[in-house]
Amino acid sequence: MKVGFVGLGIMGRPMALHLADAGHQLFVYGKRTVPEDVKAKGATICGTLREIAEAAEIVILMVPDTPDVEDVLFSADGIASGLSPGKVVVDMSSISPIATKEFARRINEKGCDYLDAPVSGGEVGAKAASLTIMVGGPEKAFERVKPLFEKMGKNITLVGGNGDGQTTKVANQIIVALTIEAVAEAMLFARRAGADPAKVRQALMGGFASSRILEVHGERMLKRNFDPGFRIELHEKDLSLALSGARSLGLALPNTAATQQLFHAAKSLGGAKWDHSGLLRVLETLAGGEK
């Protein structure tokens, strides 16, 4: 297929490379910012977002936040300006479910389909093409794009209509954030109690407390490797989506709110770009520092 790809960062770059490796023709934007390995795969570099939409059958977005998606789609020379009927826009960013429904409506008015397809799995999953992909939108568009999803992920689910993919991602981010916080508390407790945190983690991996978070982020905490796979500032954004959505629904999400406060604290400590496992540093600070 002819695939436009906007957003070649930590996640988008390996995702785009998988599509190129599968033989799909890529159309990308930004002459000075396109990674060299993407250029080496023969990607066509377009001068405007409009040119990408004119050339591609499917346009994929992987950008940080709701305003970024809106700008990419609807700016003066944005994707929407170059669409023609029959094309599909796929937003794989993590953004507001409410805004997603409005974006879909505006794209549908141009005779095009819209899928919201946020992912989970972080940089590791993007590189391994093992992402979980949660999709909202019409089934016929999902089936058309599914061969592309299969080159980027493993667990691919059509959840429902537009916005439902983003709702699923928000739910995912609640679980991930609270579990990271729990693992960080456990690792801090184990170390301060005089036990070997590595051996504690090894023991826990064989029990009911085992999880992918304990496996991956527990190891990060042990090695103190807080280089970002997924930045705290982005997870903070996702929890903001959860809490604003909860307010609109009249729900209380107390543990989500508490973990969001810890993300805020991380930013005040200069940790906006830490990996989200860096939440451990906040707990250490509250406990008098690393010891």
Exposure letters 241-253 (e unless 16+ CB within 10 A, then b): bbbebbeeeeeeb
Nearest to residue 283, comparing CAs of 181, 175, 212?
Answer: 181
- For residue 3, list its beta bridge partners: 26, 58
Cα–Cα distance for residue pair 233/230, rounded to 1 Å: 9
Cα–Cα distance for residue pair 265/271, rounded to 1 Å: 8
Cα–Cα distance for residue pair 196/81, rounded to 1 Å: 58
Q: Which residue has the tokens 């520092």?
A: 289
Question: Could you tell me how many helices (H) and strands (E) the chain has, helices first?
Answer: 13, 9
- Residue 169 among the catalytic residues: yes
Indicate the helix (H) or strand (E) that contains 114: strand 113-116
* Triad 174, 176, 117: Cα angle to 5°: 75
Cα–Cα distance for residue pair 203/205, rounded to 1 Å: 5
Within 10 A of 175 (CB to CB), how many other CB atoms are there? Answer: 13
Type of residue at 111: G
CA-to-CA separations, 223 to 247, 266, 269, 280, in angstroms, rounded: 38, 19, 20, 12
Q: Pull the structure tokens for residue 106.
A: 């505006």
Indicate the helix (H) or strand (E) that contains 2: strand 2-6
Q: Which of 31, 110, 151, 169 is catalytic?
A: 169
Cα–Cα distance for residue pair 174/259, rounded to 1 Å: 9
As annotated, the active-site residues are: 169
